[in-house]
Amino acid sequence: MTLSELAAIALAGGEEILAVYATSFDTATKADASPVTQADINCEAVMRPRLAGLAPDVVVVAEEAVSAGEIPAEADRLFLVDPLDGTKEFINRNGDFTVNIALVEAGVPVAGVVYAPAIGLLWAGSAGEGAFKARVEDGAIVSTEPIAARPAPPRIVAVGSRSHGSAETERWLERYDVASFVSRGSSLKFCLLAEGAADVYPRLGRTMEWDTAAGDAVLRAAGGIVTTLDGRPLAYGKRRQSGDVDFANPHFVGFADPRLATKLAQEAG
């Protein structure tokens, strides 16, 4: 499969999101206390069968299906799908929400698409095709440009969650000379690293694999890396975890420049 094929599916999902976004939609609360809207449900309903048709041998792990108790079989190849990453941003109507699709092989996110329908931008990347940013108009890609993560400057730009900031994150960042801190929602934080606009993204809070895999894949394709706090690459397809549920992530950090990750690993060692 190609990035263009995955992008086409994300674009179709984005159309469903924008259709709901244009209405006075209702919000419900899931068992884990997170919000859900009809946009989450409609987007996933469109994308799941298309992904299954594109790659019948790849297991589809989608957020709303898992929340409803549909736990797929374990597999070395899987799609991780978040139909609406940043539901709080969607509810607040600030545009910082995305459609996330990632292909994972043997625990590694090897291809990913992050589409922000409200702002008409899409990022994609894979191990074979590199990474690019695209402008979207009327549900179609109208232009693309290659992107690459940048070498870390002497004073770095940090990026963090618009809705989930913490004092713990601020303390963690004290190890670096931070020139500025940018708050963004959803997987857009990974995309800022991938396109050379920021340098580090620490997330010392709760996330699931479908929240991060697509952005992680784009960042890796652009030359960056995502690691746990002890410097190991963040892995996917995690099952039977001691003390946590399937597909839950530990705390992690995204780095535009892998040399910053090496420094973290040396500190942990």
Annotated binding site for substrate: 63, 84-87, 211
Tell me the C-alpha distance between 56 and 49, whole Å: 10
78 Cβ partners below 8 Å, 6+ apart?
58, 59, 60, 61, 72, 103, 104, 236, 237
Let me know: does 101 contact 210? Beta carbons within 8 Å: no
Q: Which residues are annotated as a binding site for Mg(2+)?
A: 63, 82, 84-85, 211
Binding-site members are 63, 82, 84-87, 211
Characterize 214-232 residue by residue with b for buried, 16 or more Cβ atoms within 10 angstroms of its Cβ, and e for exposed: bbbbbbbbbbbbbbbbebe
SS3 44: helix
d(CA 169, CA 29): 27
Residue type, 248: A
The amino acid at residue 264 is L
Handedness of CA 131, 135, 139, 141 (dihedral sign): negative
Output DSSP code: residue 208.
B
- How far apart CA 44 and CA 255 sit, in angstroms, is 29
Structure tokens at 124: 């994609």
